[in-house]
Amino acid sequence: MKKIGYLRVSTGEQRPDRQIDGLKGLCSEYFVETLSAVSLKRPVYEKAIGLLGPGDMLVIWDLDRAFRSAKDALNELDLLHKRGVAFTIASLSIDTTTPEGYFVYTIMSGLAEFERRMLSRRTKQGLAAARRRGVRLGRPPKLTDVQLFATHCRIAAKTATPAQIAAEHGMAPWSLTRAINRSLRAARN
């Protein structure tokens, strides 16, 4: 019986170490995917389940690391069971091949989706509250207003092109042009 682990992180900055440590000793091999939970295509997941046959087992550490929604989780479980593949959530010791395990899995799928939706709502509310307080969201600007004004003067005097100045500051020319325009609009207001 093959036991294959599937792990997912949303971004390259996130580390799957917690999941890897949790699956050590439980799986003969594991596959790590780096993409958002809402991505429609999951090539690493497809590869992992493609290696599984009747009598094999797919092992994940946490439910929210594998599926996008409760409906997705239940549909995938049905597809795996039809192929004779067992499915286990290691962090919860849930074996979906038993009626009790399937029942708990169904509830946990709904709870995982609820948690993700609540997190999304709180994030949106927090961002909206920050905007109302005037907090600038996103990456900090590469250039100060003084640097942008000097850059605008250089371009206007034709002593440098936007591409040359952007290269000096390690940014894309369109980002520089957009920042200059934003700065000029703010200065007019």
Asked whether residue 156 carries a pLDDT value surpassing 80, the answer given is yes
Q: Is 10 annotated in the active site?
A: yes
71 lies in which domain range?
3-120
Please report whether residue 102 resides in a domain.
Answer: yes
**Which pLDDT band, with edges at 50, 70 and 90, does 16 fall under?**
confident
Asked whether residue 62 carries a pLDDT value surpassing 90, the answer given is no
Domain boundary among 120, 153, 168: 120
How many CB atoms within 10 Å of residue 66?
23
Looking at residue 162, its pLDDT comes to 92
Query: What are the pLDDT digits (tens) for 112-147?
Result: 889 889 999 999 999 999 999 999 888 888 899 899
Given the residues 10, 69, 91, 175, the one annotated as active site: 10
Task: Specify whether 160 is located in the same domain as 106.
Answer: no
Question: In the predicted model, what is the mean pLDDT of residues 35-39?
Answer: 78
Answering whether pTM is above 0.75, one says no
Domain boundary among 78, 104, 120: 120
CB 16 within 8 A of CB 32: yes
How high does pLDDT run on average in the chain?
Answer: 89
What span, in angstroms and rounded, lies between the C-alpha atoms of 109 and 64?
8
Task: Specify whether 12 is located in the same domain as 98.
Answer: yes
Domain count, the chain: 2
Please report whether residue 51 resides in a domain.
Answer: yes
Nearest to 31 by CA among 18, 13, 43, 39: 43
Supply the CATH number for residue 9's domain.
Answer: 3.40.50.1390
